[in-house]
Structure 1
Amino acid sequence: MKAVSYRAHGGPEVLEYGELPEPVVGPDSVLIQVKAAAVNPVDWKAQAGYLDGMIRSVFPVVPGWDVSGVVVRLGADVPEYQVGDEVMGYVREDVLSQGTYAEYVAAPVRTLARKPERLSFEQAAGIPLAGLTAYQALRAVGAGSGDTVLVHAAAGGVGSMAVQLARHFGARVIGTASEHNHDYLRSLGAEPVVYGDGLAERVRALAPQGVNAVLDLVGGGVIHTSPELTAPGARLVSIADPEVSRLGGRLLWVRPDAAELTILAELADLGVLSVEVAEAYPLARAADAQRRSAEGHTRGKLILRP
């Protein structure tokens, strides 16, 4: 099969496009013909070796955890799916080895849900990692009706999902983003503010009593502004800054969860959750997609198509 892989840690330049053996399908897994795979920052960070202390790499490594596609083969014990089913998944296992930048991927059923009928394969591939991260972060802070939630990096892949889900849960959302993304955030139901110096004052102008919950989706120390703009008892969660624990919050590492992914699929089919595709690249140009992802200014998802 055609796939993108790397044989040593490094940047986009270490990626190789070529033939690799088709993955082995375990008893509780299915083989998916990949229709689209999303590029996420964690892909190139893991590739650079930043996760070596957490996840072992078995070279050659095919990057990627997000996928949508069609089931073409079943493992020995998979009553959940049939050949021909359209699925999406956050296919993260305990090692870095057989990822989704490929024509085929073997995926445990615990990582999958049925693809939303309303969405294209490209859009569906953008849901799993970002959507589950947003969903689990909002659950961690208990966001709901009557809450005011501050979402840092609200126009990004995870942030846009968090805005839509928080609004669906009944919360008011204030989102940080560069000014050219403010109309986009308003279209999702958020009240935008520019990040940077003076952020606390700008947030306080919108929420004089402070916000009830903060989602840090970007890192870089933004969580340290929280005491200046939160109400007493506010809940904090970060996906990027371990210092959140010192402030009484939680550092979140997203987990595959088939039931939660099914909820996200259902919300997408109801029109509650939408996905913006920034650009789709052919699989052979995965390095270009990673370079654009690393720039950090992309609105929506970057997608690979085999």
Structure 2
Amino acid sequence: MVTSRAVTFINNSTPATLVKKEIDLDKCHDENQIVIQVYAASLNPVDLLLHSFAYKYVVGSSMKTYSRDYSGVIVKRGSNVDPKWKVGDKVNGMFKHLYGDQGTLSDYLVLDPSQQVAIVHSTAPPDSKYNEFVVSAAWPLVFGTAYTALFNFGQKLGPDSKILVIGASTSVSYALLKIAKEVLGVKTMVGVCSSKSVDYNKKLGYDYLATYDQGPIPESVGKILVGELNNEKFDLIFDSVGGSDFFPIIDRFLKPKSQNSYYLSIAGDNKIKYSEPSLRDAISPWTILRRLNPFKSFNYGLFLVDSQSEYMELGAKMIKEGTYEPLIDSVYPLEEFQQAIEKQKSNTAKGKIVLKIKGDL
């Protein structure tokens, strides 16, 4: 028997709480499952939203758990598990669940790797100031989200493509930038950020930067479009923070629908304040209508990342090659999970917030 800790909640009126329970590692899994001792995990905005929107009359009174990203070591495996997953292997991944009784802010995670396919053998970056498990826990969900935007909507993006990224400073946007540059060879990446973050994002690799705090965003982007881009419109507009500024004038910025251009969002029409999230902001009626309207004049997608092995394999490859390393804002021990959650709520993190589950990392 071992003691397993986990950060849990019941509904949106109960706080995140660290609970302990005894588990038998020999009996907690079936023959199709592996048991992972989690060494590190990270937070994502979706964790805060799911807690905030967990109304008791909808989600019930069962205990629910935090987080999806994880890294760790396999400590048990069932007899039917694919032989490539061995006891002692270092792994990381994105554990897909919705109000489940297992999350990754816990000491142990039990999963079927044939069902939870966003899992890979961990790779370490060539040179990093962070522990390899901390790095491995920081990228699966954001990298998978970026991969989905670039590969899963049927676009053939390449060197001549032009991509506009709204929310250039986010971890998802950075992953998208690196995949677009290093894998697809995209030569024109335009980011939107605050005026204070322009130098920061130039160093990350954006070709051009517009600001959202020095006048209307379309006006700032329009100057780049007319000037540096010679009025060549975008193949893809990717929004990682939420907004609707471009919709009334989308034809000025996005290539025609017939050329398979896309406006993709992971946040909808409104920027969400994670300290006080509003269900109306998160699920705007206009966002729903835009997504479902078959007569809209442009291709639009609002999506969440699904479980896929392809993005995990690509991410591990890029980590090993040194062509991508996730941005990490801060690292906390599991015991300081509340401080980590407050940092995520602040909307000020530049990179992922990682929690060390295994104390001696």
Equivalent residue in structure 2 for 1:114, among 102, 121, 146? 121
**Matched letter for residue 212 of structure 1:** D
The alpha-carbon deviation at position 7 of structure 1 amounts to 2.3
Q: Is the 8 A contact 2:240 2:265 kept in 1?
A: yes
Give me the TM-score of the superposition, normalised by structure 2: 0.77
1:118-152: per-residue Cα shift (whole Å, max 9, x none)?
A: 26211111111000000111112543221110111
Q: Is the 8 A contact 1:153 1:175 kept in 2?
A: yes
Equivalent residue in structure 2 for 1:259, among 287, 310, 317? 310
The CA distance in 1 between the partners of 2:59 and 2:121, in whole Å, is 29
**Matched letter for residue 200 of structure 1:** P
Name the residue aligned to 1:35.
39
User: Residue 14 of structure 1: SS of its match in structure 2?
Assistant: coil
Equivalent residue in structure 1 for 2:185, among 166, 170, 179? 170
Equivalent residue in structure 1 for 2:74, among 51, 68, 71? 71
The alpha-carbon deviation at position 205 of structure 1 amounts to 2.1
**Matched letter for residue 239 of structure 2:** D
User: Residue 207 of structure 1: SS of its match in structure 2?
Assistant: helix
Report the more deviating stretch, 208-217 or 18-27.
Answer: 18-27
Q: Percent identity?
A: 24
Q: Is the 8 A contact 2:164 2:189 kept in 1?
A: yes
The CA distance in 2 between the partners of 1:51 and 1:148, in whole Å, is 42
Q: Is the 8 A contact 1:33 1:71 kept in 2?
A: yes
1:9-57: per-residue Cα shift (whole Å, max 9, x none)?
A: 24xx70111313448334433211111101100011111126999x967
Q: Is the 8 A contact 2:140 2:312 kept in 1?
A: yes
1:231 counterpart = 2:255: yes
1:236-291: per-residue Cα shift (whole Å, max 9, x none)?
A: 11112135525531122211112321111101111111112111111122122111
Equivalent residue in structure 1 for 2:172, among 152, 155, 158? 158
The alpha-carbon deviation at position 232 of structure 1 amounts to 2.8
The CA distance in 2 between the partners of 1:201 and 1:5, in whole Å, is 45
Give me the TM-score of the superposition, normalised by structure 1: 0.90
Larger radius of gyration: 2
Matched residue count: 303
Equivalent residue in structure 1 for 2:53, among 49, 54, 77? 49
**Matched letter for residue 266 of structure 2:** I
Name the residue aligned to 1:137.
149
In structure 1, list runs of 5 or more residues that go unmatched. none
The CA distance in 1 between the partners of 2:61 and 2:104, in whole Å, is 15
Q: Is the 8 A contact 1:216 1:222 kept in 2?
A: no
Q: Is the 8 A contact 2:65 2:99 kept in 1?
A: no
Equivalent residue in structure 1 for 2:162, among 148, 169, 173? 148
1:194 counterpart = 2:225: no
**Matched letter for residue 192 of structure 1:** L
Gap change, CA 1:91 and 1:166, over 3 Å in 2: same
Name the residue aligned to 1:6.
9
| Greater fraction of residues in strand | 1
